[in-house]
Structure 1
Amino acid sequence: MAYVITQPPVASVEVAGTSDRFPVRRIFCVGRNYAAHAREMGRDPDREPPFFFTKPADAVVDTGATVPYPPETNNFHYEAELVVAIGNGGRNIAEKDSLSHVWGYAVGNDLTRRDLQLDAREKGRPWDWGKAFDRSAVIGPVHAVEQVGHPAEGAIRLTVNGEVKQDADLTDLIWSVPEIISILSHSIELQPGDLIMTGTPAGVGALVEGDTCVVTIEGIGSIETKIGPRE
């Protein structure tokens, strides 16, 4: 069989400690999964069940890359996140079995065109233009479970030009990793290569050209992104 156009390259992220890559199939993102962030976005975390949006696989960017300031926005935001890498797929996964489907964990930054996202939200439209644009998912090296275990606690922080902007703990997650995996798997069949960005703490804010953004999760590591000139 031959393809009628050039086959796109496989989207992938680094694997910690090796020259290997983790192939990315899909990226699922959990909305408003820290109570303080839900409140700063004008929502009540005690009344809303988890919801999800997606990013295309080829939105991934490695740590150390320069991300151009994206088009059509004047309010470009950072969001520090724990990322779960699925190694063993499944459907209708029980919460008690969820962690057996995880290959590893990474540090992520869910870059967001906030003005486009909020405009879509107010009009009842999908968030794609605010969330699923080119180079919108900075994801660091994936650390195998054998190396880092299953992090359920530990500091998650983000700095911009050395100034702390987000500072929370993984224990602040409203929906835990096992719960997220189980809930997702009851709507879609998870597959090896799927990534889950588990939500961001309070303190989201704007990035501008020339900024350096660093996300750190205790026990997993750090990623760094520089913001380049507007596209």
Structure 2
Amino acid sequence: MKIIRFLDDSRNERLGAGYRDGSAELLDGGLFDGPVPTGRRAVVDALLAPVAPANIFCIGLNYREHARETGAGLPRHPVVFMKPTTAVAGPGGAIPLPKCCTRGPEVDFEAELAVVIGRTAKDVAEEHALDYVLGYTAANDISARKWQKHAGGGQWVRGKGFDGFCPLGPALVTADEIPDPQALGIRTLLNGRVMQESSTADMIFPVARLISFLSQDTTLLPGTLILTGTPPGVGFARKPPLFLADGDQIAIEIEGIGQLKNFVITR
């Protein structure tokens, strides 16, 4: 099922499926309780991020070709950082260029497959890890590179945690519709031009291994979001570098999930 989270024409938050022509079939029940189709449709006034995450874990340097384009060696263990939940933005939402980015252009894009945990997970074996997945969505790990690399004391959270720096959507696709998360095409389009194009098969650490690794001695609550890394083609690695600017439209496309489109504004 492709599940959307949205505001109806009375500005009530709803869950829906079968989104088309500005409306969706209403679902009964919570996202983690097995929502059931009602047969009733409602107007979609605004799409929201398909999940309000409990926590957001992110993985850096998890595509072989991306690691090579940055000049980094392949990591022995997953490179983990986090984003605040306040960074989340929905489909069609704005990505504000932070006022504190005062040293020239630096805001970059990263297409990512996002995993949504559906039930509490701790010390999960890799062979059982996908059983804990509710579904998948597309994410854009927006990154202010100068803050990330030179002003965070070696930590990435500052450069990746500004408001609007975690767009999600357009829908949450339940795990039964994506039996193999390592076989999905993924790409980024900037103003209609392809910037990134790859496959999740290039991941160094597959989704199941990431879930197992992150759950070691750590509780992953329902609604935990895991951004699984980005393929090659990011802006800072290009020659010359290419960064987001006011008025840009950025779209993330993942096979079987759809297109997540956002626009860039000057704050």
Shorter chain as denominator, the TM-score bin is 0.7 to 0.9
Cα shift at 1:146: 2.9
Task: Tell me how far apart the structure 1 counterparts of residues 146 and 59 of structure 2 sit (CA, whole Å).
Answer: 19
Cα shift at 1:143: 1.1
Cα shift at 1:94: 0.1
Task: Tell me how far apart the structure 2 counterparts of residues 90 and 192 of structure 1 sit (CA, whole Å).
Answer: 8
- Is 2:96–2:163's contact at 8 Å kept on the other side of the alignment? no
1:225/1:91 Cα in 2 relative to 1: closer, same or farther (>3 Å)?
same
1:50 aligns with 2:50: no
Q: With structure 2 as the length reference, what TM-score do the two structures score?
A: 0.76
CA RMSD of aligned residues (A): 2.0
Among candidates 35, 55, 67, match of residue 38 of structure 1: 67
Mark the structure with the bigger radius of gyration.
Answer: 2
Cα shift at 1:44: 0.3
Q: Write the deviation string for residues 167-200 of structure 1: whole angstroms up to 9, x where unpaired.
A: 1111001100000000000142111010000000
1:216 aligns with 2:253: yes
Among candidates 132, 139, 159, match of residue 161 of structure 2: 132
Task: Tell me how far apart the structure 2 counterparts of residues 192 and 164 of structure 1 sit (CA, whole Å).
Answer: 34
Q: With structure 1 as the length reference, what TM-score do the two structures score?
A: 0.87
Among candidates 159, 171, 175, match of residue 205 of structure 2: 175
SS at match of 1:203: coil
Cα shift at 1:120: 3.9
Q: Write the deviation string for residues 9-55 of structure 1: whole angstroms up to 9, x where unpaired.
A: xxx9977546565331000000110112112223101x532121001
SS at match of 1:159: strand
- Is 1:15–1:143's contact at 8 Å kept on the other side of the alignment? no
* Pairing of 1:92-171 with structure 2 (within 5 A): 92-120=123-151, 124-140=153-169, 141-171=171-201
Q: Write the deviation string for residues 137-188 of structure 1: whole angstroms up to 9, x where unpaired.
A: 0010211123333422121000101111001111001100000000000142
- Is 2:246–2:264's contact at 8 Å kept on the other side of the alignment? yes
1:89/1:200 Cα in 2 relative to 1: closer, same or farther (>3 Å)?
same
Task: Tell me how far apart the structure 2 counterparts of residues 148 and 80 of structure 1 sit (CA, whole Å).
Answer: 18
The corresponding residue for 2:106 is 75
SS at match of 1:157: strand
1:79/1:96 Cα in 2 relative to 1: closer, same or farther (>3 Å)?
same
1:78/1:134 Cα in 2 relative to 1: closer, same or farther (>3 Å)?
same
Count, aligned residues: 216
Q: Give unpaired runs (5+ residues) of structure 1.
A: 1-11
The corresponding residue for 1:4 is none
Q: Write the deviation string for residues 94-140 of structure 1: whole angstroms up to 9, x where unpaired.
A: 0011001000000110000011111147xx43212101111110010
Judge which range, 47-56 or 178-187, deviates more.
47-56
Sequence identity (%): 38
- Is 1:105–1:144's contact at 8 Å kept on the other side of the alignment? yes
Higher relative contact order (CA 8 A, sep 6+): 1
- Is 1:167–1:201's contact at 8 Å kept on the other side of the alignment? yes
1:19/1:173 Cα in 2 relative to 1: closer, same or farther (>3 Å)?
farther
1:72/1:42 Cα in 2 relative to 1: closer, same or farther (>3 Å)?
farther
**Aligned structure 1 segments of 4 or more residues deviating by more than 6 angstroms:** 12-15
Task: Tell me how far apart the structure 1 counterparts of residues 175 and 143 of structure 2 sit (CA, whole Å).
Answer: 28
SS at match of 1:38: helix
